[in-house]
Amino acid sequence: MSVLKTALGSLGTTRKQPGMISQLQSSFDRYKCTWDECQQRLPGDKELRDHLSAHSVDALAHWACGSICTWQGCKFKAKFKTTHQFNTHLENIHAKPLLCTRSRCTYKRPFKNEYELERHNSSKHSAERPWECPYDYCPSETRAFARKDKWLKHIREVQHENDAFCLYHHCYFSTIRAGKGFEDRKEISTHFNLWHSGRAVDGYGCALGSCGNTGKRDRWHLLGLQQHLQIQHKIVLGLDSLQTGLKGTDHIFRSQQVPFDLYNKWIDCEICASQTLQTPLGNTTSTSAQFGMAPI
């Protein structure tokens, strides 16, 4: 009789104590090697990690570029193109399994990467739903989501009023002027994924010149703000410089963030200026200097 069966037998009638049996089984298997032909049980975490690392070396030695995992008993069928990809797989799945550490979580399998673990935690262990539908009039009962992919799926599948054009200020007027909206629902979700944030805390905006008079915030990704500054204000900044300049702020680009060498060279946003600073003849301002505007 095995050690486990002996332990279970000492519990008496097993039907009355399923929780205790499950706990004992889990504790018994906790330090068990996952290499099929090994199945050795180790005394603790450190010993198990060292033991699994030794198997990783063996698996790597028998692996060839473009082949599947060589860990005995691995059920993954994906082929790994680089050594880095395979080493990441070995570490997260086998040598140092990336597991959910929440108590009472029923999902016991390791995750391929931190992103998948974060998705799991957002879906299963968080009550927060920070990804919000951007449309004011949404026919769906569910308008907030725990994960970005669910948010994008909502935008792609649920039809909203006037969603042939992006609802955010600068995108809307740019596409209206071009006379070309979204061709299909997939293009809508692709646009939001590339340019806008579904979480208010992550979104960026511009309040430079006339952009500060519209009261609109575009919830751009950082790349979207960078493109806006370059096209509409002729301010060219790298993503790292832009992010550093906005660190610790409300993510709104203002005159304080304009580099000293560009302070008197930036131009006003034509889209916003045409709505907020019209002359009696209907002409619009094109630069802050033309109207004696001080950058805000």
- 3-class DSSP string for the chain: CCHHHHHHHCCCCHHHCHHHHHHHHHHHHCCECCCCCCCCECCCHHHHHHHHHHHHHHHHHCCCCCCCCCCCCCCCCCCCCCHHHHHHHHHHHHHCCCCCCCCCCCCCCCCCCHHHHHHHHHHHCCCCCCEECCCCCCCCCCCEECCHHHHHHHHHHCCCCCCCCCCCHHHHHHHHHHCCCCCCHHHHHHHHHHHECCCHHHCEEECCHHHHHCCCCCCECHHHHHHHHHHHCCCCCCHHHHHHHHCCCCCEECHHHCCHHHCCCCCCCHHHHHHHCECCCCCECCCCCCCCCCCC
Confidence of residue 39 (pLDDT cuts 50, 70, 90): confident
Q: Over the stretch 191-225, which tens digit does the pLDDT of each residue have?
A: 999 999 888 888 999 999 999 987 777 999 999 99
pLDDT computed for residue 189 by the predictor: 92
Average pLDDT over residues 235-259: 93
Per-residue pLDDT reduced to its tens digit, 5-36: 444 444 444 444 444 444 434 555 678 899 99
Question: Could you tell me the pTM of the whole model?
Answer: 0.56
Rounded mean pLDDT, 98-117: 87
